[in-house]
Amino acid sequence: MIFKQFTKPVLLALCFTVWGLSVKAQGDPAKGEGLFKSNACNSCHDLEKRLTGPALGPLLTEDTDDKWITKWIQNSQSLVAAKDPKAVKIFTDFGQTPMPPFPGVSDADAADIIAYVRAGHKKNEEAKAKAPVAAVAEDKGPSDLVIFGLIGVIVLAFIIILVLNRVIGTLETVVSKKGAVLDAEEVEAEQVDRFATLKRMAKNKKLVFFTLLCLTIGGGAWQWNILWNTDVHSGYQPVQPIKYSHELHAGVMKIECQYCHTGAFKSKNASIPSLNVCMNCHKTVKQESPEIQKIYAALGYDPATAKYDSTQAHPIQWVRIHNLPDLAYFNHSQHTTVGGIKCQTCHGPIETMKEVKQYSPLTMKWCIQCHKRTEVNSKGSAYYDQVLAAHDEIKKGKKPTVAMLGGIECGKCHY
């Protein structure tokens, strides 16, 4: 009797439990897509291709242990620390790059994400299976009609050439006979009339003087302009090996100049950024771009395995745009840090350029004009603090040394 009383409630509870687990295991792909994007899973994972992490579609389709996948999503490093063989293998295969924990993802959320991945992978596989395969045409070679047609065209062209040669010969004969009839005296008179106007103009001294004066002034101005612009390359815009758009990175995305050109604020040279700076973003962003593929090739990087091959690496042959002569000393940090000058003052609206060009002439006159109109702000500048300290030493009767004015800095001699 007691067993019968408990049989029905127990069976009913088991049925509800199994039903709840089945509903939970199914998940909601639509909610899963939102969770996948809101948790930035797509920054490291793709459904079909390998990024920083594995391709999730094939992985979750083959692996049906949803409880283990849920634990991996919530805290993968706890499984690695526990020496779970599956977790350790994934962690090792992907360069021991730790996946951040997601404690806020509940078991139900994880089920939704898993459902989204599996549904998306299944949809992609079905699309591939339905894709039409282009039929390969059978190569039967050229037909007899085409061959005889070409022979006929060649014969016709040969006949036309013969006819044209006969016509040209006849016309040349007619022209030569007509020219022989002309009187030599009439030809001489015609030549005299042709140059009569020029001879009259040559006798006009005022006209000759004015013409020579204009030629002298114009030639002198032309020569002066050529000499003045020697080695001035304003507008110089060479084609670079990689199409890098400052308009996109500095303009649209608002990336600061010093993120790439780190030397502009602390050394003489602004420096060309290494490709490792590009890889901070493009290890996962725009992998399919042909220009990004050039970066991968230069680094010997394989995006499929996320590994580098140093034997395949080679430098990028960038073309220098802004080039001062060796006799000119220019220090970027002195102008940007001490002078507070913006990059656009010399390089122009760099944030609007798809391809960089030389904006300013960079001549001595141009630099001197800038120095004449730029005010000096000595407040809070370490350089001017040194100068003021040296003046104070002079007022006290002491003799300042060159070192006090920065004379032992490396850049004073080595540049």
Spatial contact of 109 and 69, defined as CB atoms under 8 Å apart: no
| pLDDT, position 353 | 93
Cβ contacts of residue 359 below 8 Å, gap of 6+?
234, 346, 347, 348, 349, 350
Distance CA 340, CA 381 (A): 10
| pLDDT, position 349 | 93
| pLDDT, position 356 | 93
| pLDDT, position 136 | 37
Distance CA 398, CA 390 (A): 9
Given the DSSP bridges, would you call strands 301-302 and 307-308 parallel, antiparallel or unpaired? antiparallel
Distance CA 69, CA 178 (A): 102
- Would you call 402 exposed, middle or buried from its count of C-beta atoms within 10 A (0-12, 13-18, 19+)? exposed
Q: pLDDT digit string (tens) for 221-244?
A: 888 878 777 767 888 999 999 999
Please count the residues of the chain.
415
What are phi and psi for residue 307, nearest 5 degrees? -125, 155
Distance CA 344, CA 332 (A): 13
Give the C-alpha distances (Å, rounded to integers) separating 289 from 185, 285, 352, 357, 374.
77, 9, 21, 24, 44
Distance CA 221, CA 231 (A): 18
Phi-psi region of 182 (alpha: psi -120 to 50; beta: other; left: phi over 0): beta
| DSSP characters over 384-409 | HHHHHHHHHHHHTT----GGGGTTT-
Distance CA 347, CA 209 (A): 47
- Measured in Å, how far apart are the chain's first and last C-alpha atoms? 100
Distance CA 35, CA 113 (A): 7
Domains assigned to the chain: 2-130 (1.10.760.10), 155-228 (no CATH), 246-377 (no CATH), 378-415 (no CATH)
The DSSP bridge partners found for residue 301 are: 308
Neighbours of 72 (CB within 10 A): 22
Distance CA 38, CA 242 (A): 33
Q: Which residues of the chain have pLDDT under 50?
A: 1, 3, 6, 16, 18-25, 133-141
| pLDDT, position 22 | 44
